[in-house]
Every structure is written in C-alpha cells, then in structure tokens.
Amino acid sequence: MNSINDRVIEYLLTPIAIRETTDKIFQRALAGKTHFNLHLDKLEACSDYVMDVIKNNYPTLDIPFHSRWGHFKVGKVDREKLLDELIVTQDPTEIARIKLDLVIISVLLDAGAGKDWQYQEENHSFNRSEGLAVASYHMFKNGMFSEDGKLMADAKGLQKFSIDKLTAGFQVSDTNPLVGADGRVELIQKLGKTIEANPEIFPGGRPGNIIDYLCENLGNNFEVQDILDAVLKGLGPIWPGRIMVNDINLGDVWHYKPLGHEVNAESVICFHKLSQWLTYSLVVPMIKAGFIIDGAEKLTGLAEYRNGGLFLDFGVISLRDDNNFQQAHKPGSELIIEWRALTVQLLDQVGKLIQDKLEKSPADFPLAKVLEGGTWWAGRKIALEKRDGTTPITLDSDGTVF
C-alpha cells in the first residue's frame, strides 16, 4: 500500500490499523531506532503494580468500562444519578440520547487542562480530567449546549458555543488558566456543524441521535466496534489540522516521517484515542437503555499521558536523551507519536499479563476494564509518587489530544 485510497481509508479507521501501525514503531524501538529505549524485563513488575491498583480499586473485580462516567462521580457525588432524577419521566431511549449528548461533549472537552487550572464546585475543587468532567456536567445541566437552553445538546446550540461561554463554564481567569481554550471552542462548534451536515448518522440534529443511526442499521444487538465505526465516520470532520484524504478527515492519525517523507499508507500511525474513549463512554447508556453490545476486546488501549506516563515512570520505557524532558512537544512530533504508539503496544502486553493473572479471557476482561481498574489509575498514582501528578513529558497541547 503506497497510497491512501478508499480501501486504505476504511482500514485506517479500525482498531486493527491502530495495532498494526503502532507495531511498526514498537519494532523500530526494539531495533533502537526511536527516541525511546525499551526495558521489557520490567513489564512483569509493572503489571504487578497495576494488579495491586486493580485489587485496591475493585476488590470484587466488578469493573466498569474505562469511560467518562467514572469522572462524573468524583468527590463521592453520583452526578449521573442526579441527572437521572431530572429525566426520570423520559422513555429509555430518550434518556440514553440525553446522556449521549452529555458524554460526547464532555469527552471532546477533555484534552489536557494544564497544571494550574481547577474547577470549584461548592466547597470542593477538582482539576484535570475530573475537573473538566464536573465543569462540562454543570454546563450541560445549565443548557449551554442547546439553542433553547434545554437539558440536551443540539447542532444550533453547539455552533453558537463561544469563548465567553467556555470561560464562564470552566471558571477560566488570569489566575485560573485553561490550556487550549480556543481549540476546545472550535471543536464544539465543529461538532455542531458536523451534526447538522450529517443527518444520516445524527438524524435528529443531536449528538445523541447516533443511537438512532445504530438502531436503524443494526437493531438492538451489535458490537462495540460498530459504535466506534459510527463515531469515526460521524465525527471525523471535527478534528483540526489532521490528514485529509478525498475530503475525509482521518482524525487521530499522524504522519511519521521516519517511515516515509510522503504521507501514504506506510507512513501514518493511527491512535483514535478520543474516539475509542468516547465509544467506551457511549456503551454504558446504551446498555442501560436495553441494547445488547459485545466485542469490547477488539478495541485497543488508549494512547494518552496517564497510560504512557505509567510506562515511562515505571521504567518500561526510557528516553534516550533526557534533555527531551526539558522541552514541550507538539502532538505531531516524532517523540510524541512514538510515545503514544509504544503505549498502545505495551497496554496490549500488560492487558494479557493481567488477564492471565486473573484467569480471565479478553472477552471477559477487555482492555476497557484493565484501563479503568488499573493502568489509568496506576499512571496517576506513580505520577504523584514521582512528581506533583503531572505528565512526565511536557505536552504543547492544542486542546484536542490527550
């Protein structure tokens, strides 16, 4: 495959492509041809560390998928339950639509917030992903994503989202700066335009109408990968500054120049991090609405800084040049693409070790549970042990990645 045609585009928007393209970088790392050294002898101890976190977080192993819904419970407040009380009179499918409206927006707003930002809720403050979740939850409840201020999101309301609304909703100020604010606003506005332009996947003009598309085409029984396929096709146009082929935005797919100076099928690396996390987040309301959804094990781990930080902080990977710790790196840089690719590959290996230790099959204990039970929290735990909880590599974020 030397060019990107329609068949290749279809391939690049799959979990198989994520695993196969990131493996190219893993093989280069094994050969000493990346910014990182691999120390696979530490992988077993790293999996033991993750296992301890899993047992501490979920002693009964009753682990939900790694999704946005867990963040809505920060501070021991079950905000989903509070939302349920407001929409209890709606039918199950409409309840699911409302929750999908919320979670799609919340996931898209969840790029790195920066170390100085926090959100104040009554007498408690939250930062990072949890703070962004709580802020977006209250913004949604206040109707900030609906044209008419209703408890929903719609194309017109999303297109009218502004920096003033974001500043107010996220409590941004000179003393409480949020990284990538403009990028987040643009992403939400593009979400509105994309929904309006794609009535096939969003037939009612709302993010949550993706459930109607799935139901119409697949009935009430389908696989997680079917949701990811709809997410990638339906939301692809919102991503800024990525690779465009035949007017199709490939999303979280990056040109890795060591594999070829021209953008082609051999030189791009796929991650689809936010799309996969969003997919995991969509599963929960759909199942509660009565849908039967299988096949979560086919998706991959998430190439983001908590999982990647776990492997770097634990010493499974190391930077060949420590000077790279002293500078900020853009998402499209070789170093960040390599870090994310190694993260995907190593998550598969840790996942297999965890499944073996628990005597569970990939279907019974997919990566979505390994992430939620262990690796994400383990990455956070070791970051707090080693630093102030920040990412080990500084990111020059545009508000749409990580």
Q: Kindly give, in sequence order, each residue whose CB lies less than 8 Å from that of residue 173, ignoring residues fewer than 6 positions away.
A: 167
Tokens 């690396």 identify what position?
Answer: 269
Question: How much is the pLDDT for 339?
Answer: 97
Q: Kindly give, in sequence order, each residue whose CB lies less than 8 Å from that of residue 176, ignoring residues fewer than 6 positions away.
A: 116, 117, 118
With contact defined as beta carbons under 8 Å apart, do 113 and 179 qualify?
Answer: yes
What number of other Cβ atoms are within 10 A of residue 248's Cβ?
18
DSSP 95-162: HHHHHHHHHHHHHHT-S---TT--EEETTEEE-HHHHHHHHHHHHHHTTTTSTT--SS--HHHHHT--
The three-point CA angle 59-51-81 to 5° equals: 45
With contact defined as beta carbons under 8 Å apart, do 9 and 250 qualify?
Answer: yes
Which pTM does this prediction carry? 0.88
Average pLDDT, consecutive stretches of 10 residues, N- to C-terminus, the chain (402 residues):
78 94 98 98 97 95 90 93 96 96 93 87 90 96 95 97 97 93 91 96 96 95 94 84 79 94 93 90 92 93 93 97 91 95 97 96 93 93 91 76 50
Question: How much is the pLDDT for 399?
Answer: 55
Question: How much is the pLDDT for 402?
Answer: 44
Q: Where are the beta strands (DSSP E) in 283-373?
A: 292-294, 317-319
The three-point CA angle 375-378-382 to 5° equals: 140
With contact defined as beta carbons under 8 Å apart, do 176 and 191 qualify?
Answer: no
CA 337 and chain centroid, separation: 16
